Copies of this chain bind each other. A is one copy, B any other.
């Protein structure tokens, strides 16, 4: 077609459905295909995106499995096609009335240089970026799904009161580092659990946590929690599951609250770790709330109003672990599950068009 430009399109292809922990060999990188930089004439309500940053998120492992429980079919990946995930992108061409060329967006895209996206739910699967005085990469985390998750979890699901004693697991991760900072801004005492000395240092010295510990170095997690919470935990933000969750149950205060948005330690075990202390739910009258950012699209504007001033004033900081190049994406994604990342894991694909 006249005026159409086709370019090589680097892609991260799912080789086959993943079982157990994702491995680099479950994916491969190819530049075999080309892509037209126009939305095909007959395709309505579509955008052609140039991907700038891709986000590595624990939830992605579910999208690359042959799951029986596909909750939103359109987000799942199929072998032979690029994997899907969240990212920050620029609209190159659009047949969708809500998006025009040059728009910056964050949301569901595919792991390739350019993505033709045809299944758009505006403000849900693809959100327009209006604030560009902050790093664009933040829209993969702090201002994206992770930020929405942290804000919803903290202010809607389990709002802590001033003086509450708060525990955050996976505390240096994309969501955890925000939860800790929200807790400090709200006058709480906050302790973070993380998986290395460097992460513990980060929590205490850069992110303002009152205390932090390396769960891998604690033989007795229950005793560790008693050390930091001699009177018990008011609010726990749960991302890991397993032994830590079990120890937390024993250390909760009466009427304590737990917000669960993930259990990353349990996703890939052949058998989940047995939990022994569930009776504490009855004994201590605990409240446990599962939640996902997907129920909270509507709070994004309120969240931005809250968080952008803090970011601009440097009162909320965000640690990102950015690797350069789509070809380094599979290793970055796989590293999430061994805790190799240091802060929010991002893949930088390309700079935006000026």
User: Is B266 within 8 A of A282, CB to CB?
Assistant: no
Question: Can you tell how many copies of this chain the complex includes?
Answer: 2
User: Is B274 within 8 A of A271, CB to CB?
Assistant: yes
Top 3 A-B pairs, shortest CB-CB distance: A274-B274, A281-B290, A288-B288
Query: Which residues 242-258 in A have Cβ within 8 Å of B in the complex?
Result: 245
- Identify whether the interface residues of A are mostly helix, strand, loop, or mixed: loop
In the assembled complex, the Cα of A189 lies from the Cα of B263 at a distance in Å of 32
Which residues of B are found within 8 Å of A295, using beta-carbon distances?
285
User: Is B291 within 8 A of A279, CB to CB?
Assistant: no
- The residue in chain B whose Cβ has the minimal distance to the Cβ of A69 is B283
Which residues of B are found within 8 Å of A275, using beta-carbon distances?
272, 274-275, 278
Which residues of B are found within 8 Å of A278, using beta-carbon distances?
241, 245, 263, 266, 272, 275
A202 CB to closest chain B CB (Å) equals: 25
User: Is B283 within 8 A of A276, CB to CB?
Assistant: no
A272 CB to closest chain B CB (Å) equals: 5
Residue of B71, B262, B274, B281 near A272 (CB, 8 A) is B274
Taking the complex as formed, is A286 at the interface, i.e. its CB lies under 8 A from any CB of chain B?
A: yes
Taking the complex as formed, is A98 at the interface, i.e. its CB lies under 8 A from any CB of chain B?
A: no
List 29 interface pairs A-B (beta carbons < 8 Å), by A numbering. Answer: A69-B283, A71-B283, A241-B278, A260-B281, A260-B282, A263-B279, A263-B282, A266-B278, A266-B279, A271-B274, A271-B276, A272-B274, A272-B276, A272-B277, A272-B278, A275-B275, A280-B290, A281-B290, A282-B290, A282-B291, A283-B290, A284-B290, A285-B290, A285-B295, A286-B288, A286-B289, A286-B290, A287-B287, A287-B290
